Amino acid sequence: MNYFTCGIVSLLLFTSAAFGQKGGGSDVTWNATPNDVNNLMKSMKEMINVNYKTQVASLEEVQSDPGKNPILYRSGHYNYSYTEGQRKLLREYCLAGGMLIYNTGLGSAPFYRSTVKELAAIFPEQPIQRLTSDHPIFHSYYDLDRVKYCPGVRKSGFLGDEPWFDAVEINCRVVALVSRWCMAVGWEDKVEPQFQAYEPDSAKKIGVNIFSYSSAMRAWAKSQANAIKFVDKPESGADKVALVQVVYDGIWKTRHAGLSVVLQTFNFKTEVPVKYNIKETRLTDPAVFNAPLLYLTGHEYFTLRKGEAEQLKKYLENGGFLLAEACCGRKGFDLSFRQLMGTIFPGAPLKAIPQNNAVFRSPNDVTRVGVTPMLQQDLGSAVIPPRLEGVEVSGHVAVIYSPFGMAGGWEMSQSPYAKGYDDASSQRLGQNILMYVVTQ
């Protein structure tokens, strides 16, 4: 789906003055491929008739408001580090809707390691991770599950043919993107066999996809930034419903306000007292057994630590309840969750919950639901019967799983690339699931 906006959007290129080098010097190779971005812009004009313009400026000239410079691009070869003030600026910039793009010059390992380290310092609460090939950034314009590399990439030991990008994602949006292999020489049509880089055709299509994704998410981020956030209220002290979000290795928190919002709307719809303060803990915490409801979500592949799967099984066998969803309908989480359930309950696989089940009847009679445009493309229909799957434990449904995203709809701001239920349907299903937990 093409999400390019009209008009000319600026891309800021960092100058050497923007990045302090270890030892007090500067990275003189920041512009080792001086025509890379300009050539990409020219190629984009020829390929898809979209205009971008570029600027060159120091980081000191960057404003935290991304309205002036919605994309910041950095390429280099050597180790570097930011000051605390620069980290603060870049964090504010990204959280306000901006996007950072880092290109490793000729696949430079020092530059790559420095970037990963710096992003960990800028976003300590959200670990950087590699994007799987179903991520929307690889399908925003061209489908790029597979790409072509120069032979130099193979000599480095990487034998795959999928694109390798690491990213920091916050609220279902990539705020910082790192290309492990060089895109710049491909944009300049100056590749050599020994380069650790993408071939020109793949590099240019990747560039188009990055800008298509950024254009769509920039517009969405403006509205998403205004999402309502809820906090504890005195009247919520009854604790009739307490949600505990499961922490695991990886991006376990994809949306930050969704749970609070659906609890608030559930309380408004049913007058059942709820606790709006969401607890976040690992499954090895004994306090898990005091929670009537666990919530598990994510985008990418994940695994639990030793003992966590066993703890989850004990929790469910002791009458606990698990609500899980593949945020944005992502395949990586879906596959991992199905594998997890198959390991814990090999004799009770996930299966579709019948349409006459109580979970679809109260407090909302849900017989049809709307879906997001991206999911509509897959299913061929904008309205479908609701799809939830479950696992029965000791005669009752202990696990409810949605392969389609709901959390973005709970926040009333589904991502443009989400494969999920629309906002209204997400709210109705979320309310019904909470009622099911309360009444079973």
Walk me through the domains of the chain, giving residue ranges and CATH numbers. 9-224 (3.40.50.12140), 234-439 (3.40.50.12140)
Rounded to 5°, angle at Cα 415 from 260 and 169:
80
**What is the chain's Cα-based Rg?**
23
The DSSP code for 122 is H
Entry pTM: 0.85
Both structure tokens of 397 = 């449904």
Q: Are 281 and 244 in contact (CB under 8 A)?
A: yes
Distance CA 339, CA 343 (A): 6
Task: Tell me the mean pLDDT in the region 366-378.
Answer: 95
Instruction: Evaluate if residue 335 carries a pLDDT over 70.
Output: yes
437, 428, 213, 152: CA torsion to nearest 10: 30
* pLDDT on residue 224: 62
pLDDT tens track for 407-423: 999 998 899 999 999 99
Distance CA 330, CA 12 (A): 31
* pLDDT on residue 388: 97
What is the layout of strands, in order, in the sheet containing 243-246? 279-281, 243-246, 293-298, 322-326, 396-402, 389-393, 351-352
Residue 159 burial by Cβ neighbours in a 10 Å radius (0-12, 13-18, 19+): exposed
Say which residue, 316 or 50, is predicted with more confidence.
316
pLDDT tens track for 239-289: 445 678 999 998 899 988 888 888 889 888 988 877 666 789 999 999 889
- Where does the pLDDT of residue 9 fall: very low under 50, low under 70, confident under 90, or very high at 90 and above? very low
Both structure tokens of 212 = 């298509």
* pLDDT on residue 30: 46
- Where does the pLDDT of residue 42 fall: very low under 50, low under 70, confident under 90, or very high at 90 and above? confident
- Where does the pLDDT of residue 22 fall: very low under 50, low under 70, confident under 90, or very high at 90 and above? very low
368, 369, 373, 374: CA torsion to nearest 10: -100
* pLDDT on residue 23: 37
* pLDDT on residue 241: 54
- Tell me the pairing of strands 129-130 and 52-57: unpaired
By residue count, the chain amounts to: 440
Distance CA 40, CA 13 (A): 13
